[in-house]
Amino acid sequence: MIRTAVEDGSILVVTMDRPPANAIDQLMSDGLDEAFGRFEADDDLRVCVITGAGDRFFSAGWDLKEVAAGGADESRFGAGGYMGLTERWGLLKPVIAAVNGTAAGGGFELALACDLVVADERARFVLPEVRHGLVAEGGGVIRAPRRLPPMIAMELLLTGAPMRAEELSRHGFVNRLAKPGQTLPVALELARRICEAAPTAVTATKEIVAGTLHLSERDAYASMRGGTWPGYRRMRESANRIEGPRAFAGKRLPRWVP
């Protein structure tokens, strides 16, 4: 149901594999929580790529048949919340969604919870919850207006109509459009570029961005300089802060430490 593999010793690839549509039931949500927990805890893993098996669905979202049967139990969600990622607030390493097909409901919300999105040019994104008498409370109502222009987000949320990857790319949500069958390779290439950077700098960058988005520029500066961000503090104290300029001056590749 959840498959994991490590690429290049530092990239964790998590694959949702539940035919026919990679719909997320409680067991899959638990598996995702375990995978993201492993990623968060392992210092050797620098970037995570989440994708779906097959070429039609990234994920169709929460299994409504399980909901109808009374099998869904929100109290059982793990430390990362729904799908293991939507409320994993302490995760300071980047996650890339490799959207290989339709991302519906929770599938779209999972992509919204990621830091970067690579999508098959044929992929569609849809938040259909209102059509089922539900609210996109797995993060859609909260993250969509923050990741997309508010009017576009409201159209998605209020109509339940799909939008294509190309359209969302124009609105700044999709980082890379990939040819059919190339979504994961393109996402891995993006992950490798991140892995070329200093791990302490990547962590500090994500920490500061996540922690200051809601602040004014002035308050964001004060927060960053205030000594309250452990990742930022580690970056400033790390040997990488000296190694980077030395490698640049010496025209060589840097030798980063964790």
The tens digit of pLDDT for each residue in 152-165 reads: 999 999 999 999 99
The bridge status of strand 124-126 relative to strand 102-104 is parallel
With beta carbons less than 8 A apart as the criterion, state whether 123 and 197 touch: no
Q: How far apart are CA 169 and CA 118, in angstroms?
A: 10
CATH number reported for the structural domain that contains residue 18 in this entry: 3.90.226.10
The domain boundary residue, chosen from 157, 178, 195: 195
Contact at 8 Å (CB) between 106 and 21? Answer: no
79: which 2 tokens? 């430390």
Q: Domain check: are 158 and 205 in the same one?
A: no
pLDDT digits (tens, 9 = 90+) for 23-56: 999 999 999 999 999 999 999 999 999 999 999 9
Query: Do residues 8 and 135 both lie within one domain?
Result: yes
Cis check: omega of the bond before 20, within 30 degrees of 0: yes
pLDDT tens by residue, 96-130: 999 999 999 999 999 999 999 999 999 999 999 99
Using CB atoms within 10 A of its CB, is residue 193 exposed (0-12), middle (13-18) or buried (19+)? Answer: exposed
pLDDT for the residue numbered 72? 58
Tell me, yes or no, whether 256 lies in a domain. no
Active-site residue, selected from the candidate residues 34, 129, 155, 237: 129
Residue 70 has pLDDT above 80, yes or no: no
Q: Are residues 159 and 214 in the same domain?
A: no
**257 within some domain:** no
Q: What percent of the chain has a predicted confidence (pLDDT) above 70?
A: 96
Active site residue: 7, 40, 66, 109, which one? 109
- Concerning whether 129 is annotated as a catalytic residue, the answer is yes
Query: Is residue 254 assigned to a domain?
Result: no
DSSP per residue, 144-183: HHHHS-HHHHHHHHHH---EEHHHHHHTT--SEEE-TT-H
Q: What is the C-alpha separation between 258 and 240, in angstroms, rounded?
A: 9
CA atoms of 95 and 133, how far apart (whole Å): 31
Give the rounded percent of residues in the chain with a pLDDT score beyond 90.
91
Residue with the bigger pLDDT between 79 and 251: it is 251
CA 202 to chain centroid:
15
| pLDDT for the residue 75 | 57
Domain shared by 91 and 176, yes or no: yes
Number of domains present in the structure of the chain: 2
Give yes or no: residues 191 and 203 share one domain: no
85 within some domain? yes
Does residue 205 share a domain with residue 188? no
Q: Is 109 a catalytic residue?
A: yes
Is 205 contained in some domain?
yes
Give the tens place of pLDDT for each residue, 127-140: 999 999 999 999 99
Question: 231, 92 in Cβ contact below 8 A?
Answer: yes
CA distance 125 to 203: 29
The answer to whether residues 208 and 245 belong to one domain is yes
Q: Check whether residue 110 and residue 225 sit in a common domain.
A: no
- Phi first, then psi: give them for residue 138, nearest 5 degrees: -80, 15
DSSP 67-102: HHTT---GGG--TT-GGGTTT-TT--S-EEEEE-SE
Residue 67 CB neighbour total at 10 angstroms: 13
Closest CA to 56 of 25, 110, 18: 18
In a domain, 163, yes or no: yes
Query: Which of these, 203, 4, 24, 175, lies nearest to 97 by C-alpha position?
Result: 175
Rounded to whole angstroms, how far apart are CA atoms 210 and 2? 27
184 with 203, same domain: the answer is: no
Q: Where are the alpha helices (DSSP H) in the chain?
A: 26-41, 64-68, 106-112, 140-147, 150-159, 165-170, 183-195, 199-212, 217-225, 230-237, 240-249
The verdict on 91 and 179 lying in the same domain is yes
Q: Which domain holds residue 123?
A: 2-195
Are 168 and 224 in a shared domain? no
Does residue 174 belong to any structural domain of this protein?
Answer: yes
194 backbone dihedrals φ, ψ, rounded to 5°: -65, -40
Q: Is residue 189 assigned to a domain?
A: yes
> In this structure, are 90 and 128 located in the same domain?
yes
How many Cα atoms are found within 13 Å in the side-chain-facing hemisphere of 184?
A: 16
